[in-house]
Amino acid sequence: MLNFLKRLWFIIRQPATHYSLGFLTMGGFIMGIIFWGGFNTALEVTNTEAFCTSCHEMRDNVYQELKPTIHYTNRSGVRATCPDCHVPHDWTDKIARKMQASKEVWGKIFGTINTREKFLEKRLELAQHEWARLEANDSLECRNCHSAESMDVTRQSKRAAEAHERFLFTGERTCINCHKGIAHHLPDMSQQAFVEPLTPTTGQIARGPVRLAEIEAYLQSARP
């Protein structure tokens, strides 16, 4: 192995014997344009709504749900497409997300959500991934368009203005904490909270019959 590397290094260090300097530099330059341009074009193509909705999983489920919402149809006609919210705009983060998306290619090949039923079963988990991502990056994709600095609360309804002043401007909450399900339908939220209460409640909702002794034991344990 070491010998092989040594030989490789030796070859690389040799000056070219048959090709001219002009050929090598110009060739390198042109190939660079082709490869980098191709890479970038591929990146751009996969970052369009047309690409996302070319699969029926996206087109028949989430894309249809987006259509009546304000992010698709509104008075001014400005709209968000899939990657505006689901792919980071900065290059490094974008590449990281694209690498994660190889999981989605896997899902597509093996038909993880290729029927409506499979999709509905999985959608809570999928939604939780997105909520977690947006909570972690302080709703970066929302803030690409909606800036708190430019938000004129006097033009908002009283309710919205109060909520934004209390939670957004203080940094206590981020966009996604309250604005879940604005672009797609929500999954079964019975085990979920839209907004976590300020004083967290403990325990999960018990499903099915629970014995009295169990409840008593729980109350004992919950006592300070």
Partner 1 sequence: MRRPHRSRVKGATTMKRILLAASLMLAGSLALAENQLGGIRPVTPLDEESEARQIPNVVNSDVRQVRNYPDQPPVIPHKIDNYQLDLNANKCLTCHSRTAVEVSQAPMISVTHFMDREGQTLASVSPRRYFCTQCHVVQHDVEPVVVNGFVDVDRVLDFMRGKKEGGQ
Q: Which residues are annotated as a binding site for a menaquinol?
A: 82
Stretch that binds partner 1, among 10-18, 39-47, 65-73, 212-220 (CB under 8 A): 65-73
Contact residues for 161 (Cβ-Cβ < 8 A; gap 6+): 153, 154
CA–CA separation, 187 and 120 (whole Å): 8
Minimum CB separation of residue 87 from partner 1 in Å reads 24
Q: How many helices (H) and strands (E) does the chain have?
A: 13, 0
Q: What angle, rounded to 10 degrees, do the helices at 102-109 and 91-100 form?
A: 30
Is residue 182 near partner 1 by the rule CB under 8 A? yes
Closest to partner 1 by CB, 40 vs 74, is 74
Minimum CB separation of residue 99 from partner 1 in Å reads 32
CA–CA separation, 180 and 182 (whole Å): 6
Is residue 75 near partner 1 by the rule CB under 8 A? no
Q: Where are the alpha helices (DSSP H) in 2-81?
A: 2-13, 21-45, 49-52, 56-57, 63-66
Other CB atoms closer than 10 Å to residue 83's CB: what's the count? 19
| Residues in contact with partner 1, shown as a per-residue x/- string from 95 to 134 under the rule CB under 8 A | ----------------------------------------
Closest to partner 1 by CB, 171 vs 197, is 197
Q: First vs last Cα of the chain: how many Å apart?
A: 65
**Residue 166 contacts residue 153 (beta carbons within 8 Å):** no
Backbone angles phi, psi at 218, to 5 degrees: -65, -45
Is residue 185 near partner 1 by the rule CB under 8 A? yes
Count the residues of the shown chain that bind partner 1, applying the rule CB under 8 A.
Answer: 22
Is residue 45 near partner 1 by the rule CB under 8 A? no
Stretch that binds partner 1, among 12-20, 39-47, 51-59, 192-200 (CB under 8 A): 192-200
Stretch that binds partner 1, among 13-21, 78-86, 141-149, 190-198 (CB under 8 A): 190-198
Closest to partner 1 by CB, 68 vs 77, is 68
Pick from 103, 165, 194, 210 the residue near partner 1 by CB under 8 A: 194
Contact residues for 24 (Cβ-Cβ < 8 A; gap 6+): 16
Where do contacts with partner 1 occur on this chain (CB under 8 A)?
A: 68-70, 157-159, 162-163, 178, 181-182, 185-189, 194-195, 197-199, 201
